[in-house]
Amino acid sequence: MTTLRELKEQILADPKWWLIHFMDFVDDFRYYKDLQAVAEPFALSDQKMDALLASMAESLCDEMDIEPPEWLAEVPACREPYFVGELENLKAFSLVESPLRFRIRKIFVLENFLSRV
């Protein structure tokens, strides 16, 4: 299983396809339920991606009733609101629907952002 640190490295190496790497991690974490995947902190270098990764990891831990590692709480919020969908028409929905762990870091996504079909 890929760790959160490795995921960030993959995203930095291949930013065009960041969402594929991101959702593969989500799927794997839900399948393996391995807290070791989020145990090691990653280097902070990109405020939006750092906040997004930390929010996702905390949300998945909450979903599985697992205590998130303490280091995730140290990942800062974005300086400016970040609308992941980047579609103007969805901003209002994202403001209302964004899960708490994302909103805390000024990340705005639709309610089903971590859902897969």
pTM greater than the 0.85 cutoff? yes
Nearest of 43, 77, 71 to residue 57 by alpha carbon: 71
> Domain count of the chain?
1
User: What is the pLDDT, as a whole number, of residue 87?
Assistant: 85
Query: What SS3 class is residue 83?
Result: strand
29 DSSP 8-state letter: H
Query: Domain containing 24: what range?
Result: 4-79
- Residue spans of the chain under pLDDT 50: none
Segment 73-105, tens digit of pLDDT:
999 999 999 999 878 888 999 999 999 999 999
Q: Is the dihedral of CA 46, 22, 33, 94 positive or negative?
A: positive
In a domain, 60, yes or no: yes
In a domain, 58, yes or no: yes
